[in-house]
Every structure is written in C-alpha cells, then in structure tokens.
Amino acid sequence: MSSRSVGRNKNKEVCIIYRGIPASSGVAIGKAFLLNRETVEVKEEKISENEVQREILRFKKALDETKKELSKIKEKVAKRIDPDHAKIFEAQILILQDDFINDTVIERIKLNENNAEFVYKKVIDSTIQALSASTDEYLKERILDINAVASRLIYNLLGIKHLTLESIDSPVILIARNLSPADVVHMKKESILGFATDAGGGTSHVALLAKSMEIPAVVGLKNFFDQVQSDQSLILDGTRGELIICPDEETLKEFEKRRKYIIKRTAELSELKLLPAETFDKRRIELSANIELPQDTDSALEYGAEGIGLFRTEYLYLAQSDLPSEKEQYQAYQEVADKVYPKSAILRTFDLGGDKFDGHTGSLYETNPFLGWRAIRACLDLPEIFKIQLRAMLKASIKKNIKIMFPMISQVEELKKAKALLEEVKDELRDKKIPFDENIEVGIMVEIPSAALSADSLAKESNFFSIGTNDLIQYTLAVDRGNERIAHLYQGFHPGVLKLIKQTIDAGHRNGIWVGLCGEMAGDPLATVLLVGMGVDELSTSAMAIPEIKKIIRSITFEEAQRLAEQVLNLSTIDEIKKVLIEDYAEKFGKG
Ligand code: PEP
Ligand code: MG
C-alpha cells in the first residue's frame, strides 16, 4: 500500500490518499465501519479470594458452551460434507477436554487470583510456544487448532458474539483486515456502500463477488485497517483502487467530476446493449456474463449479456452456509435457464475449496488449499453430493439451453470419471421417465497448466472449453491469486500464460469445439483485442464490464486483432507485451 498526504479538510483533519488493488469499480462516500473480529484484547484483572469459585464456574461454563458449538459444527460438516472432515472438529473438542490445560487454568485462577480469560490465554500461549519449538510437524500443525479453539472460548468468556455482516443496517464503508466470500454474500447492498480489505488480490473470490454484486471495493491495502478510525469520512474509489481519508474540498470536487464522468460513460455504453459483439469484418464473439447467484441474471441481461458463460454454483452453498438440496438447486438452475431463454447458461459444478470454504461450517484446514481438495476433486470423492447436483442440472435442461461445465480438470481421467457419473444420473432419470436434454453439451474449465498442455486429448472428450485465467495465471506462475504481498507477480500478460491460452484455443479448434474465456482477463479492456486476435469464440465476464468490451470489439477488425496477437506472442517479456498493448489501445481509443 502506498499513501500520500494531500492537505487538510475544513475541520483541519489531514486528508490522506491510500492506494491498494482495484477489486470492483465504482465510488462510494461515507463513514468508516471497522470490522474488528480477529483481535480481542484480553486484560489482566485481579479478583478477590471469594470470587475465585465464581471465576472457575465461569470458565467451566465457557468450556461447555464452546463444546456445544463445536459439536454442532461437527455434525453439520459430517452430514453435509463428509465424516473425515468432521474429524477436525472432533480434534478441537479434544483440545477443550485436555485435562492438563484445564487443570492448570483452574489451579492458576486459585493461586494468582486472576480473571479466567487472562489465565487461559497465558496457558494457551505457553502451550503454543512449546509446540512451536518442536521439530514434529504433526504437533506444529495442532497450533492452528489450538488457536481456533482458544479464540472461540475467549469470545465466549467475554460474551462477544461473532458479528455477521447482515446485522449492519446503516450505510457505511466497511473496513476489514480480511473477508471471506461468504461474508460478501451476506452483505446488504443498501448498508455496505463499499468495502476495503488489507488482504486479498484483484481476482480473489471476494473481489469477483464484489464486482458481481456491484459493490465498489479495494483490496490488498496491507495495513490500512490500523490507519483508519470508526466513523471517519471516507471516499472509496474501486476503479482506481484508492481510499481517501477525511477528503478536503478539492478532493471532493475531483471526485464529483469523476462520478459524473462515470454516469455519462455508462449511459453512452448502454446504447450498445442490443447490438452484437462483432468486429467490422463480421467476426462474431459471444459476450456472456459470469454470475454467482440466480438473481444476478437480471443485471447480466440488463448490461447486454448474450447468455451466462459461467454460473459459479458453489455460491448457492456459500449464501446459505449449507449444501442446497436437489430441489433448491433445481429451482436455482431453472430460474437462470428461464431468465436467459432462448440464450443459454453454462452451469459449472461446485468449485468449493481454495478460498471458498470458509463460512459458517468452519474452515477445513489444509496447508495448501489452492492445491488441495477442491472443485472436481472433492466432487469425485463425494459422488452422492455430486450426483444430486448433476440431477438438478439435467432436470433444469429441458428447454435445451443449459450446458454443464466441470472445474479444475487436470487430467483426462478426471473428465472421464465425471462424465461417467453424469451418464449414471442420465440413466436413472431415463428409468424414471424424467425428461432432460439428451444432447446437453458438457465442457470443462481449462485453468490448470496440465489441462492446457493436454488440450488436444481433453477436447476429444469435451463439447467446449472455457479458459479460467484467474486460476491459470496463479497455477502457471505459482502466485496465489489472493495474496496481496505477491500481487505484483500475478501477471496475465506473462508470455507463458499467453502461450497456454493460445495453445488451448488452437487445440479446441483443431478438434472442432468452441473455446471461451471466463476469467477476469475477459473483462480487461487491455486484453480484448489480443484475445479476439488469438481466436477466442466467447468471452464471459462480470456484467458491468460487458458494454466496454463490446465497444472495443465493435471498433476493430479481426484482421488487425490477429496481427496484434501474432506480434505479442513473439515477445518475451511482460513489460514489452504491456507496452505494445497500451500503445495499441491508446492509438485506437485514446489515452486514459
Ligand atoms: C477462473 O479460474 O478463471 C474462473 C473463472 O473460475 P474462479 O474464478 O471461480 O476460480
Ligand atoms: Mg477457477
């Protein structure tokens, strides 16, 4: 994060501009609301001798309460996800029942005459210190569990309830150290004017969700949280990735001008709504929208989407913190299919895992979640859950405008297994005489380098490809898409990434299938001419980005786009590539 002071406002407060990573465009003005969840201050308090028993009782009551909470989560996970993952919470319950820790706490409350939370924290801190010094990896890993249990118990001792974002009901700009995708799903647009986080990258799921909910957001601010106070006046500019504390008159004027410009530009672009995304020489690109929840379909169509190129169905789970039933899923898919008809919608099967496993069931700890039990891997391990989803999708396909897409395919075998399960479900439906689209198209996300490199073989088993650049970039460059510290290394214009994209498009076409792209690159105006020139057939992006991308496509020829792509693919550095793209853009559309 960089910052600069730009004078004082009329109340003599210093006006400072902080710069982070743009996550969702738009501007918001309002008061800061600090979401202080993680840090609870535990103060030392002396108690009298006759308060000792009451303090011990308070500690035992908090132990019971915490155990009940964890047992509930354990049951929920066992029922809805799988019994193996429920073991994490079993282990946490065992920590709560650790006689050594609990007896030591009780002894020290008696001996030192201190409040329970202070004594408990001290005992936990020294346990963690001892484990950290151990060379045993297993013991070290227990630290995370101990921390999770300890903070839950301390919250209960202090009587603090976990704040949910639904409960905020006056309009504020939310400032947090970190948020989960489930947090964003629970935001009410009327009360959260915008949000800013210290953590996160521009293609983290928190950022994607903010875009789709049209909530302006800035992420990756590193330590902004500690610089701002509750109720301070703020301007948040999600397009530039800036936050302005205590804006002065001049800054407010500049912002007003910007806001008017954005309104004018949006009105100009909305005139393109009914026109096709087609180059001068008639190369037609299908321009679709990415959605997270069925209700996003309305705004996608409003912005001129020609279909839904990616429905991230896992948000049905994140929105309600429980796996949706077959009926609930069917209704959601049916709603999208009906709304877009006669256009089509691509339903992606659950891509849970990575940063999308937080929420209310507790996070399932993995050392490397993005390389872990995610998406198709989890679905193939949980065929009963997967088949429920496939059945709901098939049932919603009767109007023949649904396509099914599998995420995170890394090898042909996975695709074959997923397709075999789909066939099983089709057979079951046929037996029961339940109708569905017999010719439903089945495609895959190409978002892992091994898939791009095996694109010829995968194309033989697929009806279409959709390139997921958000993940393809992170896996090709070994750069976590949500980590603000290395956000500068997350570069879609890396020659290696572009070669994999080109290779995938060519392999798809060689095998007679269409190739789309649904990562954030599809909504980046700097990438549009290049992607069209590489031969992409479809671009699917957040609804808000559609008009701008359409305008670019309608201002070029396919031939000039191909020339640019050929030039760029022969360059060897990110800087050279960006320079050529920026110059080309400025020549065609002017600077800025
Ligand atoms: C991608 O990886 O590019 C993608 C579109 O999927 P998600 O962002 O949901 O991982
Ligand atoms: Mg992905």
Neighbours of ion ligand 2 (CB under 5 A): 447, 468, 471
The β-bridge relationship of strands 345-348 and 172-176 is unpaired
Ligand 1 pocket member 292 (CB < 6 A): no
Closest atom of ligand 1 relative to the 520 alpha carbon: 3
Ligand 1, atom 4: closest residue by C-alpha:
468
In this predicted structure, the answer to whether residue 141 has a pLDDT above a threshold of 80 is no
Ligand 1, atom 9: closest residue by C-alpha:
312
pLDDT score at 2: 67
In this predicted structure, the answer to whether residue 418 has a pLDDT above a threshold of 60 is yes
pLDDT score at 580: 98
Average pLDDT of the residues of the chain: 89
Ligand 1 pocket member 312 (CB < 6 A): yes
Cβ–Cβ under 8 Å, residues 407 and 371: no
Closest atom of ligand 1 relative to the 314 alpha carbon: 9
pLDDT tens per residue, range 286-305: 999 999 999 999 989 999 99
Cβ–Cβ under 8 Å, residues 85 and 364: yes
Average pLDDT over residues 236-242: 91
Q: Which of 282, 383, 297 is nearest to 334 (CA)?
A: 297
pLDDT score at 185: 76
Q: Which of 432, 433, 441, 321 is nearest to 393 (CA)?
A: 441
pLDDT score at 344: 97
Ligand 1, atom 3: closest residue by C-alpha:
468
Ligand 1 pocket member 476 (CB < 6 A): no
CA 335 / ligand 1 centre spacing (Å): 22
pLDDT tens per residue, range 371-410: 998 899 999 999 999 999 999 999 999 999 999 999 999 9
Closest atom of ligand 1 relative to the 467 alpha carbon: 3
> Alpha carbon 185 to chain centroid distance?
10
The top-scoring range by mean pLDDT among 222-231, 361-370, 533-542 is: 533-542
Which of the two residues, 247 and 411, has the higher pLDDT score? Answer: 411
CA atoms within 13 A on the CB side of 208: 30
CA 55 / ligand 1 centre spacing (Å): 50
The pTM assigned to this predicted structure is 0.75
- In 382-527, alpha helices (H): 383-395, 412-431, 449-453, 455-459, 469-477, 495-510
Closest atom of ligand 1 relative to the 312 alpha carbon: 9
Instruction: Give the whole-number percent of the chain exceeding pLDDT 70.
Output: 90
CA 468 / ligand 1 centre spacing (Å): 5
The torsion region of residue 134 among left (phi > 0), alpha (psi -120 to 50) and beta comes to beta
Q: Which of 366-380, 420-434, 466-480 has the lowest mean pLDDT?
A: 366-380
Q: Which of 27-36, 380-389, 415-424 has the lowest mean pLDDT?
A: 27-36
pLDDT score at 4: 67
Ligand 1 pocket member 473 (CB < 6 A): no
Residues 6+ apart with CB under 8 A from 200: 21, 23, 178, 179, 206, 207, 219, 220, 482, 484
The top-scoring range by mean pLDDT among 71-85, 216-230, 507-521 is: 507-521
Q: Which of 65, 123, 74, 121 is nearest to 99 (CA)?
A: 123
Ligand 1, atom 7: closest residue by C-alpha:
470
Ligand 1 pocket member 469 (CB < 6 A): yes
> From the CA of 409, which ligand is nearest?
2
Q: Which of 135-139, 521-525, 558-562 has the lowest mean pLDDT?
A: 135-139
Q: Which of 98-107, 138-147, 358-367, 579-588 has the lowest mean pLDDT?
A: 358-367
In this predicted structure, the answer to whether residue 253 has a pLDDT above a threshold of 90 is no
